[in-house]
Chains A and B, each alone.
Chain A
């Protein structure tokens, strides 16, 4: 079975503070990937960051980093120095790399940045 759990429906953060969005996953695949996507109010899905299950280093992309703890099955997104434009829905997703791989998303976290 494949499942993504995001336990924070909504978060408020002060501008310029760092924020961590939680994501835990469950998969039977030995090899898999984890993604974070941002969805602003306009509705489009914007790719943020990717982590492969065999990557030894935590992924980073500018202000985004992924805190990957394989034993805990967690893949938290960290946004450093938050900006007003970071206000959006954030989705965690997993992809299994078996022959029948599929991509599953979590329920999302709505992040609101306060000025």
Chain B
């Protein structure tokens, strides 16, 4: 079982560069989301999607774009990286509705210099 797969696991970017964090799940989950976790902090919701073709902003969406063209994939794009975007990024997915576990990727460590 692949579960939720995030790539890359580690990335160093220069300020102003753009990049895409990939997230894929093979569980046919409707719900997918991206969180960032700063050192010693909680998970803050960046963007989320409740199905293919549907995306919405979370708590901290500025500087990030997402799209959901398929059920399986939910890439996160950093348009012009800033040092404030240095963080650990987690992708998560879930079947919609009551109960059910939230499945997380292993995290992507991003450093912007």
Name A's B-contacting residues (CB within 8 A). 6, 31, 33, 35, 37, 43-45, 47, 50, 52, 91, 93, 95, 97, 99-108, 110
Whole-angstrom distance between the alpha carbons of A47 and B3 in the complex? 14
Contact B107 A43 (CB under 8 A): yes
User: Could you give 15 example pairs across A and B, Cβ below 8 Å?
Assistant: A6-B42, A37-B102, A44-B107, A45-B102, A97-B97, A101-B31, A101-B50, A101-B96, A102-B33, A102-B56, A103-B92, A104-B45, A105-B44, A105-B45, A107-B42
Name B's A-contacting residues (CB within 8 A). 31, 33, 35, 40-45, 48, 50, 56, 58-59, 88, 90, 92, 94, 96-102, 104, 106-107
CB within 8 Å for A104 and B102 given contacts A91-B43, A97-B97: no
Contact A103 B102 (CB under 8 A): yes
Give, as a whole number of angstroms, the nearest-CB distance from A44 to chain B: 7
CB within 8 Å for A106 and B56 given contacts A44-B104, A45-B90: no
CB within 8 Å for A100 and B50 given contacts A105-B43, A108-B42: yes
CB within 8 Å for A33 and B106 given contacts A43-B88, A103-B33, A105-B43: no
Give, as a whole number of angstroms, the nearest-CB distance from B4 to chain A: 10
- Chain B residues contacting A95 (CB-CB under 8 Å) are 94, 102
